[in-house]
Each structure stands twice: as C-alpha cells, then as structure tokens.
Amino acid sequence: MQKLNGKTAIVTGGSRGIGRAIALRLAQDGANVVVCARGAEALEEVVLTIAKTGGTASSIVADLRDPVQPARVASFAIEMYGGIDIIVNNAGATRRGEFVELSDDDWADGFALKFFGAVRLTRAAWPQLKARAGSLLNISGAGGRTPGPEFTIGGSVNAAVLSFTKAMADVGIRDGVQVNAINPGTIRTARMKMRLATISESQFVKESQITRIGEPEDVANLVAYVVGPEGRFLQGSLIDLDGGSTKTM
C-alpha cells in the first residue's frame, strides 16, 4: 500500500527543480498532488508526467505574490480532491547581489513570494490541516542559518521562514498539525547549473567544503519521509540537508 494513499498535497513552486521532484515523489507515494506556479506549460508537463506513472495530479497557475492567490490555490485543492492534508511551501527565489545594489523592490519581492506566500497559504489551508491532522512543511534554505554577503535577501527571508516554522509548530501541537522545515544547501537546479558554468563542479565542492552537490530528488526523498507515517514524531524541526555546509550548532 502506498503510504500517502487518500492524502492531498499542495506543492508550491511545483513546476521545476526541487518542487517538481517533490510533486513527483509524493504522487509516487499515493498522494493526490496539486502543483502551482506561474508557468502553465511547465505545470502541465508535471501533471502529465505524474499521470504516465499512474499518479494523480492537478495544476493551477498562480502568482503567490498576489495576496488573493494562496486562498484560491487552497480552494482549488478542496474542490478537486475534497480536502488538504499536506502543504509544502517551496515557492520562492530571491535576488542575489551586492547589498548596496539591492533595491527596496528587490527586498519586497523576495518576501512577497517565499515568506508571505507561505504565510497566506498556510492560513488558508490551516482549518483543513487541523481537521485532518495534516502536515505543513516549509522548504527554507541553508542561507537562513549561514547567509553569505551576496545573499542578504535570501538569508533574511529564509530566517523568517524558519522563525515562522517554529512558531507554527507550537500552534500545530495545540491543533494536531505537524510542522517542520527543510534547509536545502546547494542543489542542482537550473540556477545552480548557471553558476557552475563559471566554475568546475569539483572545484565548487572543494571550495564549499561539502560532500557533493545535491539533487532535487534528495530533497524530495526527505520530504516524503517527513510527511509520511515514519516522520510524524518530527515537530518544529529545522532539518539541514546541505552536504555539510552548515557548521553552526
């Protein structure tokens, strides 16, 4: 029996990279998956891929920076599958760069999608998660613990997501909802592949002092464990999945 049979999961930023891998893995484990992102064509490819492997998925185009869209996504999931059991807040890329060159708009955009998008979707879906003893999982990032000089926005946003996770974990204890976060390190996404165009992979790994570059499937496998029956004792955990890049205690 697939361990997520009968469960419905929303994966934001589910059209590519880490989000796509998470959607495919949760569908493989039996969940009905709702993927949302801004690109219709890429979303449709994910849905078709899941269907070809015998899974069930639907997509909804949504820009989660728009305050009304998260509630729309939650309503869509309920309409399609009758409820919500799992939320994976994965959407959100932030601009890198020298601090003095980053504008107010850059900062606002970074928080609008990754932080406020997650907050609003969580708020919209919480009654469902509470009623169904569901799971909330935030995909933050290693920069939330150890930000670098060109990651002032991303580090700040990720740290806010981690704080939000800890606070909601206490709400989850009261309401019977599992709440955790995963901090991926360097993952082989499209953005990472662009960075590797200027440096060899072996050199990057050596200079970063990590075991290797991670794959989107590494994150997806951990997500499946956390939201599955084996991971239910995890609560308020901020899990580093980064090949050793995070050196803090």
Mean pLDDT of the chain: 95
Q: Which domains does the chain have, with CATH numbers?
A: 8-240 (3.40.50.720)
pTM of the entire predicted model: 0.96
Q: pLDDT at residue 111 above 70?
A: yes
Q: What is the mean pLDDT of residues 152-166?
A: 97
- State residue 117's pLDDT score: 98
For residues 142-147, average pLDDT: 90
pLDDT for 190 equals: 79
Position 78 scores a pLDDT of 98
- Provide DSSP, the chain: --TTTT-EEEEETTTSHHHHHHHHHHHHTT-EEEEEES-HHHHHHHHHHHHHTT-EEEEEE--TTSTTHHHHHHHHHHHHHS---EEEE-------S-GGG--HHHHHHHIIIIIHHHHHHHHHHHHHHHHTT-EEEEE--GGGTS--TT-HHHHHHHHHHHHHHHHHHHHHHHHT-EEEEEEE-SB--HHHHHHGGGS-HHHHHHHHT-S--B-HHHHHHHHHHHHSGGGTT--S-EEEESTT-----
Mean pLDDT of 230-234: 98
Per-residue pLDDT tens over the stretch 171-197? 999 999 999 999 999 999 877 888 777
pLDDT at 1: 66
The residue among 129 and 196 whose pLDDT is bigger is: 129
